[in-house]
Chain A
Amino acid sequence: MAELLVRATSSANPDPTKDQRGCYKRGMPVVVMPDGHPWGLLERLPTFVVIKFPLISVARVQKYIQAQRELVNGETVATRRRLWRIRWADLPQAAQNNLQNTGELTIKATSDYTGAFDYTWAQVKVYWQNQLTGLNETADI
């Protein structure tokens, strides 16, 4: 399975350009690793949470750690730290509580997975927002 490290806090910079381009906001995925990854001592609350996708490969989750990139003056550049962001404040309260208390969520994103989970992908993908379009995720992983 893939494990996605997600920021649980927001950073800010007084320069608005640098703030948007460089600062992580709460709900932005940071890195994705294979299942069972031995996260570091600081890769946890209060700064990070981990969202697990059993039986989903790292490659299928990679798109959520891409930067928002736009064509500026003829050159494609990063304009936001991440294209995708979880709308943390809009998550079901139970999900927020789970993240804040345990630092983890397990998402069932394939019918092949029959173990324990917190939510299905169909239930939570609507909270994953494309920062460029403002649209919520509709695609399967």
Chain B
Amino acid sequence: MATLVTVTVQSSGGDYTSLSAAESGQQAIRADLVTRDEQLDIACYAFEDTTQVVFDGFTTDATRYLRVYAPPGQRHSGKWDTTKYRLVVNVGDSSAFRVLDNDFRMDGLQVYNTSTAAGAVAFSSDTSTSGTLYAINSIYRCAPGGAAGTRHAFNPRVGTLYARNCIAWGALSDNGLSVGFRDNLWSGTNGYVYNCTAYNCSRGFHKQDHGSNFYVKNCLAANCTLSFPATWNWPSGSDYNACDTALTTTGNGGNNDPPGANSRVSQTFSFVDAATGDFHLLSTDAGAKDFGTDLSGDADQAFSDDIDYETRSGSWDIGADEYVAAGGGGSNAKLVKTYLG
């Protein structure tokens, strides 16, 4: 079993004062995690980190991987939180956070590219076809508006993608091409995007014609110009999704409809405060609440919590948040690794 090594990123008093410096510093010490038989955890504490981050140069595998996370008490509460760890960067024609190393996990992070220039992306990756990315309970944000060009919130190019309980927000541009959750996977590979929410994007969840299987389950698109556009077929198995746009055409290919026989269109979602990035469901929500499917036994990505690390139970809600009445539900506040593999 690999030895777990943990370093910290804090505004002061920690090992590093930026995630970028942590990546460089740890690369100096342990670039080859496989030979060292180590798994590296980078714990990000509450502050605004303003340096662009690129992870590259490491040698990893399925059990000797990189993980960047915000510990309990330092991470967002299921909505954009300026009192917790956040990466806020202004970079045009580039990503605020980019991963080129295989075997990478991110958990509880907030990533925001404030640039409105063309190509300003919040998160992107470009690994080999054997690369694996876990994106969990994280928020990816772009600055909406502007005629400058395409800006994506979450743009992964990996071999296998596991994304759950994430929010993509503000990937909106005049050219209509910016995407919240973008299928940029390698041909022949699989992406499992479950219980994610896209809000105010030109395209909420976009299935492209790359020959990949980009599965969406329990995903929610709200206030998006196009909710689930597909330039190629959504893979069979995608289901229980919802959007507020009307039905366009039935079937796959070139339409805007959430895939799956149990998916819902023309819904009205009730969020706590969407304008400020709080996409928690209200008790009165009738569009997403209780209309999802239980994925705790999913063959590809089994989990049982939501973006707040609260336990999902009963009839699952669609989207990143599971409505839990005050005093009810449980919390997986302790970070328990439920990663596959």
Interface residues of A (CB under 8 A from B): 5, 7, 9, 11-14, 18-19, 21-24, 30-31, 33, 37-43, 47-48, 65, 67, 76, 78, 81
Contacts and interface: CB of A to CB of B under 8 A. Distances in A.
Contacts of B18: 31, 33
Interface of B: 7, 9-18, 20-21, 24-25, 27-29, 31, 51, 54, 56-59, 93, 100-101
A7 B21 CA distance: 10
Contacts, number: 86
B15 A23 contact: no
Contacts of B12: 38, 40
Given A24-B28, A30-B24, A40 B14 contact: yes
A5 B57 contact: no
B155 to A, nearest CB: 13
A81 B20 contact: no
A19 B101 CA distance: 12
A79 B233 CA distance: 34
A23 B51 CA distance: 17
Given A11-B31, A37-B17, A41-B15, A23 B57 contact: yes
Q: Is the interface of A mostly helix, strand, loop or mixed?
A: loop
Contacts of A38: 11-13, 17
Given A7-B28, A30-B21, A47-B28, A81 B57 contact: yes
Q: Is the interface of B mostly helix, strand, loop or mixed?
A: loop
A20 B59 CA distance: 14
A65 B276 CA distance: 32
A42 B5 CA distance: 14
A48 B25 contact: yes
A9 B25 CA distance: 10
B56 A21 contact: yes
A39 B28 contact: no
Nearest to A21: B56
B14 A30 contact: no
Nearest to B31: A11
A68 B93 CA distance: 13
Contacts of B27: 11, 22-24
Contacts of A39: 17
B28 A5 contact: no
Given A13-B31, A76-B93, A81-B57, A40 B10 contact: yes
A82 to B, nearest CB: 10
B7 A42 contact: yes
Nearest to A8: B28
A5 B28 CA distance: 14
Nearest to A77: B126
B17 A7 contact: no
Contacts of B28: 7, 9, 11, 24, 47
Contacts of B24: 7, 24, 30-31, 47-48
B59 A40 contact: no
A43 B16 contact: yes
Nearest to A12: B31
Contacts of A18: 56-57, 100
A101 to B, nearest CB: 19
30 contacts: A7-B24, A11-B27, A11-B57, A13-B31, A18-B56, A22-B54, A22-B56, A22-B101, A23-B31, A23-B56, A24-B27, A24-B57, A30-B21, A31-B18, A31-B20, A31-B21, A33-B18, A38-B17, A40-B9, A40-B14, A40-B17, A41-B15, A42-B25, A43-B17, A43-B25, A47-B24, A47-B25, A48-B21, A48-B25, A67-B54
Contacts of A78: 54
A47 B54 contact: no
B31 A5 contact: no
Task: Please indicate which of the listed interface residues A12, A24, A48 has the most CB atoms of chain B within 10 Å of its own CB.
Answer: A24
Contacts of A40: 9-10, 12-17, 21
Contact of A42 (B11, B16, B93): B16
Contacts of A5: 21
A7 B25 CA distance: 8
The 6 closest A-B pairs by CB, nearest first: A22-B56, A22-B57, A38-B12, A23-B57, A40-B16, A42-B15
Given A22-B27, A33-B18, 4 more contacts: A7-B28, A11-B28, A13-B31, A81-B54
B44 to A, nearest CB: 12
A7 B20 CA distance: 12
Contacts of B14: 40-41
